[in-house]
Homo-oligomer: A and B are copies of this chain.
Amino acid sequence: MRAGPSQEEIRRQNLGALLRQVHVRGALSRAELTMALGLNRSTIGALTADLTSVGLVSEELPRETGRAGRPSLVVRPQSERVFVYALSIGVDRLTAARIGLGGVVLDRRETVRARGELPPAAVVAPLAEFVRQMQRASPPDACSIGCGVAVCGMVRRADGMVRLGPHADWADAPLGSALAEVLNVDLPIMLGNAADLAALAEHTRGAAIDSDNVVYLHGDVGIGGGIIAGGRPVAGHGGYGGEVGHMVVNPNGRPCLCGSRGCWETEIGEHALLRAANRDGTGRDGILAVVDAAARGDAVAQAAVRQVGDWLGFGVANLVNIFNPETVVFGGTLRDVYLASAAQVRSRINRNGLPACREHVRLRTPELGDDAPLLGAAELAFQRLLADPLDAGTAA
């Protein structure tokens, strides 16, 4: 119902649209930008000049094109100069990176993290140390414009309160303010759910770049989901949408950490596969050991993989009926489970999914690997700049 934008709002929208093109697609000629944005050459020239003057892009002559006529200038994001800090708090790893405009990883550090009960301070301290190290190592003219944080837990977007992080025993942990205090950088800090941010990253520059309707699933101890519907993230009222791991699929199933029973994650999470295979072990290594044993012909491991694969397809079929997506992406440990049980997954989707809902669905693994949440955290931190490039304080 809002009225249309003013002249100045349009200029800023156009600046954002141009910057987003080079951020997502990399260096582009003015001719390519003219085509992509549907604006005329002189407007593109003026917008590029504005972005150049604040140090967000640079222009240069292309290498020899071999074609006659005046070559079109190439517009390139200033990836070395304009960057964000991206942090990822996973179940087993803490990762920090300095990521330049264009999604270029300029610096990256990680450490393993012990599982189990852990106060927020124990997570925040090593991340803050990483940020300090990367700050010292960055060139003097580099300019950070934000900090994004991916958290394996339910995060209140407004203030970074972690409402539930069962795998660190967090309930209402004020992670956002703890980070702000320790990082001591004068930057907006934005937190999001790891699966939501991984979905954002795969949609922006990964396996789902050509899909407007995406279900991204992340597996570790629990199961997280990030949903894109009609090209936009499904966030829900408080930002807690996508908790597909707590869709109950088995009313007679096992108790879940959340207090309910038979949640999808009790059937397809790490523990489920290890239990079915009658093995100890945890994490990616534990999962891979089962998958490898199944590939080598171990009958117990094979049965376990088939069983978990069937439950994986079961929940995906429900989500396919609800969202009618083009693409489902299996991330984290679900990548390995899916690859080992693709036949079961597909067969169950065919049995439980409505033909119209499933007929065009593609099952994919992530293109960004385990760094999808980290790269999504960077995208989150870049959003303000891309929405209004002149308002994010990057002037040299």
Which residues of A are at the interface with B, using a C-beta cutoff of 8 A?
A: 1-5, 9-11, 13-14, 17-18, 20-21, 24, 36-39, 154, 156, 163-164, 211-213, 225, 227, 229-230, 232-244, 246-252, 258-260, 314, 317-319, 321-326, 351-352, 354-357, 359-361
Contacts and interface: CB of A to CB of B under 8 A. Distances in A.
A243 B360 contact: no
B38 A3 contact: yes
Contacts of A360: 237-238
Contacts of A250: 251
29 contacts: A1-B17, A1-B20, A1-B24, A3-B18, A3-B38, A3-B39, A4-B10, A211-B237, A229-B236, A229-B241, A235-B324, A236-B323, A236-B324, A236-B325, A237-B326, A237-B361, A238-B360, A240-B356, A241-B322, A241-B323, A241-B324, A242-B322, A243-B321, A247-B247, A247-B321, A248-B352, A251-B314, A258-B354, A322-B322
A251 B248 contact: no
Contacts of A234: 229-230, 234, 323
Contacts of A326: 237
A75 to B, nearest CB: 14
Contact of A3 (B37, B241, B260): B37
A162 to B, nearest CB: 10
Contacts of A235: 229-230, 324
Contacts of A39: 3
Contact of A354 (B154, B225, B237): B154
A319 B321 CA distance: 12
Counting chain B CB atoms within 10 Å of each CB, the highest count among A37, A39, A243, A356 belongs to: A356
B248 A249 contact: yes
A268 to B, nearest CB: 14
Nearest to A15: B4
Contacts of A322: 225, 227, 241-244, 247, 319, 322
B164 A356 contact: yes
A318 B5 contact: no
Counting chain B CB atoms within 10 Å of each CB, the highest count among A11, A319, A324 belongs to: A324
Nearest to A225: B322
A125 to B, nearest CB: 26
Contacts of A38: 2-3
A10 B3 CA distance: 8
Contacts of A11: 4
A357 B24 CA distance: 32
Contacts of A351: 259-260
Contacts of A359: 238
In the complex, the 4 A-B pairs of residues with the closest C-beta atoms, listed nearest first: A236-B324, A4-B13, A4-B10, A3-B37
A239 B38 CA distance: 28
A235 B355 CA distance: 16
Nearest to A21: B1
Contacts of A18: 3
Contacts of A244: 321-322
Given A17-B3, A322-B243, A237 B213 contact: yes
A223 B104 CA distance: 47
Given A38-B3, A230-B232, A357 B21 contact: no
Contacts of A237: 211-213, 324-326, 360-361
Counting chain B CB atoms within 10 Å of each CB, the highest count among A9, A212, A247, A314 belongs to: A247
Contacts of A321: 243-244, 246-247
A324 B2 contact: no
Contact of A251 (B238, B247, B249, B354): B249
